[in-house]
């Protein structure tokens, strides 16, 4: 009998325990508790602003220094553009798709126990304080990182683009003569005799 209990205990100890996949309810509660939708909004705002600035810096005429009327008109056009882009991109179906991405990532990366621990922590006063600061933190870092990245991309593209364009032009120059040069028709010896 003692041997059977020993074997049973050994089996229980060595049997791998599988982590429980988080429930939909707990994942949704964590998304709500951590104000993840607010973070999505901030990321969208930063992304649109960075993209808009990059596009409009190249496309817009620079107003004369003293021409405040033209400067205001340009600002109005850019603001209208941003609002129209937002309307096209950010719909309720888009928001649901984004939340599904968050849900899937939470379920794939956390166990039920880990989700429960986060829920417990974020329900405490210190957890709520952290969540309250999260939106400001995300906005600040997202804008700063977007600006930093945009400057680095612009500098890198500016440095690399001329060489790449030269390579494309050289490649096209090599193809062009072959495509436009026609080789003369070869005549067979029989056709030469007929021509005489």
Residue 139 near residue 49 (C-beta atoms within 8 A):
no
What does the alpha-carbon distance between residue 21 and residue 125 come to, in Å, rounded to a whole number? 27
Q: State residue 106's pLDDT score.
A: 95
Residue 193 has pLDDT above 60, yes or no: no
Q: Dig out the tokens for 147 from the structure.
A: 């600006």
pLDDT band per the 50, 70, 90 thresholds, residue 77: confident
Q: State residue 190's pLDDT score.
A: 56
Question: Taking the alpha carbons of 20, 24, 29, 31 in that order, is the dihedral positive or negative?
Answer: positive
Please state the rounded mean pLDDT for residues 182-190.
54
The single-letter DSSP state of residue 127 is H
Q: In 3-state terms, what secondary structure has residue 103?
A: helix
pLDDT band per the 50, 70, 90 thresholds, residue 15: very low
Q: Tens digit of pLDDT for each residue in 19-59? A: 799 999 999 999 999 988 888 888 878 777 777 776 666 66
What does the alpha-carbon distance between residue 138 and residue 40 come to, in Å, rounded to a whole number? 10
Residue 181 has pLDDT above 70, yes or no: no
| 8-12, 37-41, 110-114, 191-195: segment of lowest average pLDDT | 8-12
The chain-wide mean pLDDT, for the chain, equals 77
Angle at which helix 36-59 crosses helix 68-89, to 10 degrees, equals 130
The single-letter DSSP state of residue 196 is -
pLDDT band per the 50, 70, 90 thresholds, residue 184: low
Count Cα neighbours of 181 within 13 Å in the Cβ-side half-sphere.
7
Q: What is the pTM of this model?
A: 0.56
Q: Tens digit of pLDDT for each residue in 82-119? A: 888 888 877 888 889 999 999 999 999 999 999 999 99
What does the alpha-carbon distance between residue 34 and residue 38 come to, in Å, rounded to a whole number? 9
Q: State residue 24's pLDDT score.
A: 93
The single-letter DSSP state of residue 61 is P
Q: State residue 19's pLDDT score.
A: 78
Query: Which residue in 118, 126, 122 sits closest to 22, CA to CA?
Result: 118
Q: State residue 14's pLDDT score.
A: 42
Q: State residue 189's pLDDT score.
A: 53
Query: Which residue in 146, 130, 123, 134 sits closest to 39, CA to CA?
Result: 134
Query: Which residues does 103 contact at the CB level (< 8 Å), separation at least 6?
Result: 24, 27, 28, 31
């Amino acid at each position: 009998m003692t041997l059977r209990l020993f074997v049973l205990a050994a089996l229980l100890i060595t049997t791998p325990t599988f982590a429980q996949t988080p429930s939909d309810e707990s994942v949704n509660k964590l998304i709500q508790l951590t104000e993840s939708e607010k973070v999505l909004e901030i990321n969208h705002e930063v992304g649109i602003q960075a993209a808009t600035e990059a596009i409009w810096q190249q496309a817009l005429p620079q107003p004369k220094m003293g021409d405040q009327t033209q400067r205001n008109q340009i600002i109005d056009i850019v603001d209208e553009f941003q609002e129209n882009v937002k309307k096209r991109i950010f719909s309720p179906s888009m928001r649901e798709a984004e939340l599904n991405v968050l849900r899937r990532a939470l379920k794939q990366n956390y166990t039920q126990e880990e989700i429960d621990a986060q829920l417990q922590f974020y329900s405490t006063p210190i957890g709520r304080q952290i969540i309250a600061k999260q939106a400001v933190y995300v906005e600040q870092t997202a804008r700063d990182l977007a600006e930093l990245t945009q400057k680095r991309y612009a500098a890198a593209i500016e440095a690399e683009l001329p060489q790449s364009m030269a390579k494309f032009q050289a490649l096209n120059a090599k193809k062009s003569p072959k495509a436009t040069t026609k080789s003369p028709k070869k005549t067979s010896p029989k056709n030469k005799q007929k021509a005489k």
